[in-house]
Amino acid sequence: MNSRRQFLGKAGAATLGISISGIETLSAMNSAPQKLMEDRVLNVAIMGLGSYGTRVAKAMESCTRAKLVGLISGSPEKVVAWREKYNIPAENCYDYGNFDAIKNNPAIDAVYVITPNALHAEQSIRVAKAGKHVICEKPMAINAKEGKEMVDACREAGVHLLIGYRMHFEAKTLEVVRMREAGEFGKPLFFQGLSGFVIGDPTQWRLDPKLSGGGAMMDIGIYSINGARYMLGEEPIWVTAQEVKNNPEKFRDGIDETITFQMGFPSGAVASCLSTYSMNNLDKFYLNGTKGFAEMQPSTGYGPIEGRTDQGPLVAEHVMHQTTQMDEMAKLIFENKAPKVPVDGEEGLKDMVIIDAVFKAVKTGEKVSLV
């Protein structure tokens, strides 16, 4: 029977004028484009060569799917130093005035925008209009209106907009998400997020409302907002918030020092969070359910992340977060590989809507609806 089936298969192929080897060749040709995408390296230009840009560049030295190939900076002296260190061609280097010319540079696939918050929207939209994929550091903008403009511009340009949510690829974080989805904690009831540190130099851009769009909430509080969403697996439906400012000279109008805020979720779960620029040792997530819990401290620092659940310690190899992030973003762009926790512009926009609501709740003293 098998020999008869093989004979008929060969006869049919011969009738069509196609040899068996030809069929195999066609099959290989069809799979070749996918294989090419799986091997393709994402060529990235970093915009903003400050401390975090430096961290990303260092992390990318260990990437297998992403490579630093270009620079965009307003500091010529930094460009010179980085060119020498990373062997960047002169034709791949730009300043903030002329970087629209990347449109004509096929050596660059994407730009990672790592500049002050207030510059993100305008710069990201320019990158999109130049036809390059956008990776933007969080927060994606200074408010939801700007975030929506970024999402729309990238969609219109047909490019990806990704937000630098490195924790969405971190192994211990993803294990907690897996356990929650598997029901190992039972019904989630409560989340606590503590995010803060004592900020230093009072002249830095993070304490300038025109550049930052806010204080601790924009910088560190967003981790608790985002963490509550992926730890509980729901979107909040209301927010309340209170602000404390003990040092108005350092934290002037438009710069929040400390905000405590609460969020309610459709299931009845609640989140209680704190964002501050005036206290150290605050980097903790706690998730409590009807059957168990997860506790992480540090929960969002550069690592290693430490944590435990009611079942024991969380164990995973520590890899530089930005290394994993950039490799996984390359797969997302070239292979449409969806991450467990989204990192697209819509994800970033959700956080901006909540941040806007937190600031409104502080100002009005009222519960702000998110639905």
- So which residues are the catalytic ones? 138, 223
- CB-based contact 212:308 (threshold 8 Å): no
Question: What's the one-letter identity of residue 127?
Answer: V
* DSSP letter assigned to residue 40: P
Classify 78 in phi/psi space as left (phi over 0), alpha (psi -120 to 50) or beta: alpha
Measured in whole angstroms, the distance separating CA 330 from the mean position of its chain's CA atoms is 13
Classify 87 in phi/psi space as left (phi over 0), alpha (psi -120 to 50) or beta: left
Partner residues linked to 313 by β-bridges:
308
Measured in whole angstroms, the distance separating CA 35 from the mean position of its chain's CA atoms is 26
